[in-house]
Amino acid sequence: MMAYAHNPRELLIKTGPVLIGLAAMFIPAFWWLLNHIWGEESQAHGPIVLAIGLWLFYRNKDGLISACIEGKQQPALGGILLLVSCLLFILGKSQSIDLVLAFSFIAVLASLLLLFGGWAALRLMWFPLFFMLFMLPLPGVLVTALTLPMKMAVSYVAEALLYHAGYPVSRTGVIIQIAQYQMLVADACAGLHTLFTLEAIGLLYLNLMGYKSVPRNVCIALMVVPISFAANTIRVIILILITYYFGDAAGQGFLHGFAGFVLFGAALFLLMSFDTLLGWIMKKCGITDAGIKKNA
Looking at the structure, do residues 127 and 163 belong to the same domain, yes or no?
no
- Name the residue with higher pLDDT: 33 or 185: 33
Looking at the structure, do residues 121 and 148 belong to the same domain, yes or no?
no
**Domain tally for the chain?**
2
Looking at the structure, do residues 102 and 185 belong to the same domain, yes or no?
no
| Residues labelled as active-site residues | 189, 235
Total-model pTM = 0.76
Looking at the structure, do residues 171 and 205 belong to the same domain, yes or no?
yes
Residue 227 confidence class, pLDDT cut points 50, 70, 90: confident
Domain residue limits at 145: 140-284
pLDDT value at residue 225: 83
Looking at the structure, do residues 125 and 252 belong to the same domain, yes or no?
no
The last residue of one of the domains, among 135, 161, 193, is 135
Looking at the structure, do residues 37 and 145 belong to the same domain, yes or no?
no
Looking at the structure, do residues 76 and 169 belong to the same domain, yes or no?
no
Per-residue model confidence as pLDDT tens digits over 135-190: 888 777 777 777 778 888 888 999 999 999 999 999 888 888 888 888 877 766 65
Q: In three state form, how does the secondary structure of the chain look? A: CCCCCCCHHHHHHHHHHHHHHHHHHHHHHHHHHHHCHHHCHHHCHHHHHHHHHHHHHHHCHHHHHHHHHHCCCCHHHHHHHHHHHHHHHHHHHHHCCHHHHHHHHHHHHHHHHHHHHHHHHHHHCHHHHHHHHHHCCCCHHHHHHHHHHHHHHHHHHHHHHHHHCCCCEEEECCEEEECCEEEECCHHHHCHHHHHHHHHHHHHHHHHHCCCCHHHHHHHHHHHHHHHHHHHHHHHHHHHHHHHHHCHHHHHCHHHHHHHHHHHHHHHHHHHHHHHHHHHHHHHCCECCCCCECCC
Judged against a pLDDT cut of 90, whether residue 68 lies above it is answered with: no
Judged against a pLDDT cut of 60, whether residue 216 lies above it is answered with: yes
Looking at the structure, do residues 44 and 152 belong to the same domain, yes or no?
no
Asked, for residue 240, whether it belongs to a domain, the answer is: yes
Per-residue model confidence as pLDDT tens digits over 236-280: 888 888 888 887 776 666 555 565 666 777 788 888 899 889 888
Asked, for residue 292, whether it belongs to a domain, the answer is: no
Looking at the structure, do residues 153 and 128 belong to the same domain, yes or no?
no
Over range 78-83, report the average pLDDT: 93
Looking at the structure, do residues 49 and 66 belong to the same domain, yes or no?
yes
Looking at the structure, do residues 188 and 115 belong to the same domain, yes or no?
no
